[in-house]
Amino acid sequence: MPTDAERTWAAMLRLHAALLPRLDRAVAREGGMPLAWYDVLLELREAGGRLTMGQLSERVVLSRTRVSRLVDELVAAGFVAREPNPDDGRSAFAVLTAEGKRRFLAAARVYLPAIEREFAAVDAERLAAVADGLESLLGDVAP
C-alpha cells in the first residue's frame, strides 16, 4: 500500500500530465506561443525583465533543461534579447523586449482563463483547501 507521500506525489504528477497538454494547446492555439515560451517570459517579467541564463534556468518550471534553446527561439521571435554580462564574460542576460512583454500579456489573457476553465468543476472551498495544502507542502519541502 502506498504511503501518503507516494500518493501525493503520484496525484500531482497525474494532474500535471492531464492538464499540461490542454493548457499548452490553449496557449499555442489562442495565445500564439508554446506554454514553455510563456513560462520563460513570465519569469523574465516577474524579475523586472532581466535575468542571467543561470537565474532563468533555476526559475522556469516547464523546461529547465532546455532554457538556452528556448531563449534562442525567443530571441529569433523578437521576444527576448541576449545581452553580455559585463561582470562575467562567460554569462549573458536574457532580457524581455517590448514585443515579448506585449505577446506575454496577450498570451496571459488566454492562459489564465484556461486555468480557470480546467478547475471550474471543482468546488471553490475544495480548490482553496488544495491550494493552501500544496502551498504549505511547498514551504515544508522546498523552503
pLDDT score of 77: 97
The gap between the terminal CA atoms of the chain, to the nearest Å, is 29
pLDDT score of 89: 76
What is the DSSP secondary-structure string of 5-54? HHHHHHHHHHHHHHHHHHHHHHHHHHHSS-HHHHHHHHHHHHTTSEEEHH
The CA distance from 107 to 29, in Å, is: 10
Torsion sign, CA atoms 128, 64, 49, 36: negative
The CA distance from 36 to 137, in Å, is: 25
pLDDT in tens, 79-124: 999 999 888 878 899 999 999 999 999 999 999 999 999 999 999 9
pTM exceeds 0.75 for this model: yes
Vertex 112 angle, CA 56 and 13, to 5°: 65
pLDDT in tens, 7-28: 999 999 999 999 999 999 999 9
